[in-house]
Structures are given as structure tokens and as C-alpha cells.
Amino acid sequence: IAGITQAPTSQILAAGRRMTLRCTQDMRHNAMYWYRQDLGLGLRLIHYSNTAGTTGKGEVPDGYSVSRANTDDFPLTLASAVPSQTSVYFCASRGQHTDTQYFGPGTRLTVL
Amino acid sequence: DQQVKQNSPSLSVQEGRISILNCDYTNSMFDYFLWYKKYPAEGPTFLISISSIKDKNEDGRFTVFLNKSAKHLSLHIVPSQPGDSAVYFCAATSGGSTLGRLYFGRGTQLTVWP
């Protein structure tokens, strides 16, 4: 593993189903983030975690939950998917003493 | 409320010429600014950044200029190459924040044609 990986690459999901997007980093970064990208809206922060064991809400947290059991993993869960959650989801991480975030390749999610 | 704005959704430039991408921000607490480049089906990649204590930062063909009084920054690419065709996102943050949250603009699609 090098950097940040996300899984799955893409997914089509029926509305009402539960889905977990996975994110793993091997850079030992303390801070991790989940963004969604929608056409014409740029990147919007869903949830973040400054360190293992802590999480916080971003700009658009409704319908999503996260956990941070360890430094490397930061899964994003949609408890009951809705069509408005159709988007491309990016995970990012940031090391200490820097403001630069590094992004994973993204997960394209379609909720029908 | 969009705190970082990229008012040009697209820009088309001929190969070899200069590309200038603009970004405005409203929050005077922002003190660190970044540009990301994004190709289709890939994640954003960090390109260049600038701290508010500087007004210019250069890295090869890429230069970022910051005008704090106008709350404006720009990314210059000289010379532009077809491989530079991508969506460019401007981002800003308050360096003193433990959250480290980045506020993104909506992006500018740059097309460099031969």
C-alpha cells in the first residue's frame, strides 16, 4: 500500500441499503477526512477525525457516520442510502505540522 | 455560504501560452492556500501552496500569487501543456485550527489545446 486506498472503486446501491466505504492510509497521518464531490459544488467535508478515537462533523454530515478505531482506517457508513447521496466520495489524510491534505482515488457511488 | 470562490468554471488556453486561474476568498482568518489538480476518475492531487506571509510561491511552471488585501489568489501555469488539462481546485484553511479543514472552491476546468 502506498498513500491512501479506497474501496470499492464504484458501487451501485439500492435506496434504503446500508453501505460502508473503506479508506486506509499507510502514512501514519493523524488526521483523516471524508469529502463528497458533486458537479458544480466542489468538494464538501462530510466528517473528519483529528486522531484515532475521535471524530467530528463537517459541512454535510447528515445520513453519514464514521469511526476511527485506529490510525490507518477511516470507514464511512451510509446507514440507509438515499438517491441524493449519489456522488463521488474522497478520503484524505493530513500529517502533523502541515496543512496539506492528500487524497485517495475516490469511490463513485450511485444510489437508485 | 461559499468562503472560497472560483468564478470561472472553465478556461481554454492554447499550448505554450499562459494559463491564469483565479480564486477569491471571504474569510480573513484564512492564512494558508492550496491548489489541487484533478483528472477524471482520480483523486485531487496537491499542486502548490502559499502561506499568507508570502505573496508569491513558484514551483517549476507553476506560480501562485496571493493578494491579501484583495483576498485574491491566482495560479499561473507557464507554458501551458496539454497534460495540464484538468480541473483545478483552490482551497484555503486557517493554519491555527486543529481541525485543519480545507475550504474548497467549485473548481475550474482547464483545457489546453495544441
Written as nine digits, the cell of A65 is 457516520
Closest to A88 in 3D by CA, of A109, A57, A71, A69 = A109
Instruction: Work out the percent of chain A whose per-residue pLDDT is above 90.
Output: 88
Interface test with B, best of A27, A55, A100, A107 (most B CBs within 10 A): A100
Closest to A32 in 3D by CA, of A83, A70, A88 = A70
Tens of pLDDT along B63-83?
999 999 999 999 999 999 999
pLDDT of amino acid A30: 92
Ramachandran bin of B96, using left for φ above 0, alpha for ψ from -120 to 50, beta for the remaining angles: alpha
How many residues are present in chain B?
114
Coil, helix or strand at residue A46: strand
Tens of pLDDT along A77-91?
999 999 999 999 999
Q: Which chain B residues touch A104 with a CB distance below 8 Å?
A: 43
Please name the residue of chain B whose CA is at the shortest distance from the CA of residue A4. B43
What is the Cα–Cα distance from B58 to B41, expressed in whole angstroms? 28
Q: What is the mean pLDDT of chain A?
A: 94
| Below-70 pLDDT ranges, chain B | 95-99
Give how far the C-alpha of residue B20 lies from the chain's centroid of Cα atoms, to the nearest Å.
Answer: 9
CB A2 within 8 A of CB A105: no
